[in-house]
Amino acid sequence: MAATASTVRAAGQYRRLQNESRAESADPIELVTMLYDELETAVGVLAAMVRQGQRISATEPAHRARAILIALDAGLDHEAGGDVAASLSRVYRSMRRKLDTAVAANSESDLVELLDGILTISSAWRQLR
């Protein structure tokens, strides 16, 4: 059974409440992991909304996903991260463009493609632990 947008939003709200308490004692890797969790939720909600025939432009999940991508990019330490940080910055900018395109076109397939990319990077990030 497919999740509805409201079900996904409710799960995301619950996760956000949990994350608020986790963030207080989290280390930098855990904080980035939490951002990826929130990004996955926001893009998942957008895809569910499109599946249900809703327009997703100017919605909270769209704004949240974009803000998270900006935060991930802004949080990169280019001095310590060197080429890796530069590459991630390009990836985050590309993801923002893909998100903007998907939102403007109300495209589930673009959102699924974006989510796949997010999951790939998120999985690699989690392996740092």
Q: What is the CATH number of the domain that holds 103?
A: 1.20.120.340
129 neighbors 99 (Cβ within 8 angstroms): no
Q: pLDDT per residue over 88-119, tens digit each?
A: 999 999 999 999 999 999 999 999 999 999 99
At residue 12, does pLDDT exceed 90?
Answer: no
How many distinct structural domains can be found in the chain?
1
Q: Containing domain of residue 80, as a range?
A: 5-126
Q: pLDDT per residue over 66-92, tens digit each?
A: 999 999 999 999 999 999 999 999 999
CA distances from 101 to 66, 85, 105, 113 (A): 12, 24, 6, 12
84 neighbors 65 (Cβ within 8 angstroms): no
